[in-house]
Amino acid sequence: MQTSPAQDEQAGPVHVGAPLAPLTTLRLGGPAARLIEAPDAGTAVDAVRATDESGEPLLLLGGGSNVVVADEGFTGTVVRMTGGGTAIERRPDGSVLLTAEAGEDWDAVVAATVAQGLGGLECLSGIPGLTGATPVQNVGAYGVEVSALLVDVDLYDRRTGTVRTHVPAAELGLGYRTSVLKNTDAAVVLRVRFALPGGGASMPIAYAELARTLGVDPGSTVPAEVAREAVLELRRGKGMVLDAADHDTWSAGSFFTNPIVDEAAVPDPAMPRWPAGEGRTKLPAAWLIQHAGFAPGHEGPGGRVGLSTRHVLALTNRGAGSTGDLLALAREVRAGVLDRFGIALHPEPVLVGCTL
């Protein structure tokens, strides 16, 4: 990676021809024409504004945990959010307002709240990436979604060139792994605010697998630190906690979302499912993949990529793969599920310069 001798007048350090693969959890993708590091909201706004004024393509990059970058890389400017800090405000009703800058590591934020005796975010432990991405995806795990705790966000509106503060969560269209911020580049998340209950108990344990691990009934609460350790244990068992030494964790997390279909379209009455609104049902993508004939460890082209040996929802880079290899495997899995069940799977990661 070549660093220019001077900084952009309106931004942070500028790197020319910066490799993007090391900045993603998949360790895949070509270089960026330019990369600007933004350690705070002001720097991010300046970098985005300057890039927009130049007419260059722009890619916002956080922890690289939910992105698939083309082998050819990105021909424009990448603005990478880093750090920024957090703040906690205790409110008269006993609850806590947590403010976190977009560039903060998400799991570090969760760990810090639990360490301070605060429950609420513990079921979202171990999720890689940065805090700014959590409302974009409405990140969720083990029965808890960001939407349950999100108060508001601060955004940079690229269309107007202005910063909008305290945009209510209700205006973000938060749904299953989606929001109005997803699949658009019109706004940049600068910081987020969460309302935490203020005590040390976890959120009610809603996920059956987690309840079994904890030895409690669904709906019970436990100390937040106990729930966090159980969640991390479950995620490690599925290869969903990034380990630089373990290629089985080199993934973008769950590659496909759980499809939501009309109840009448469920192909097998014995298929596990969850209610998803009136007349709608959410099906487990992992079940569909396995019952379409794809076992854990199923290999893609040349064995360079494959399904995780522990969780068929994760497509992994075995160390020598390419984005082309990964997409070929994804297409194979998608086609197999469609052929077996007539249900189309959709990717969860953002595809940059490539398509499925």
* Catalytic site positions: 177, 254, 348
DSSP conformation letters of 286-330 = HHHHHHTT--TT-B-GGGSEEE-SS-TTEEEE-SS--HHHHHHHH
- Other CB atoms within a 10 A radius of the CB of residue 6 amount to 8
- Number of residues assigned to the chain: 356
Distance between the two ends of the chain, CA-based, in angstroms? 29
Q: Where do the DSSP E strands lie in the chain? A: 2-3, 14-19, 31-38, 58-61, 67-69, 74-81, 86-90, 96-101, 140-141, 144-145, 150-157, 162-168, 187-196, 251-254, 260-262, 274-275, 280-282, 305-307, 314-317, 350-352
Which tokens in the block code for residue 46?
């300046």
Backbone angles phi, psi at 248, to 5 degrees: -70, -15
Which tokens in the block code for residue 165?
């503060």
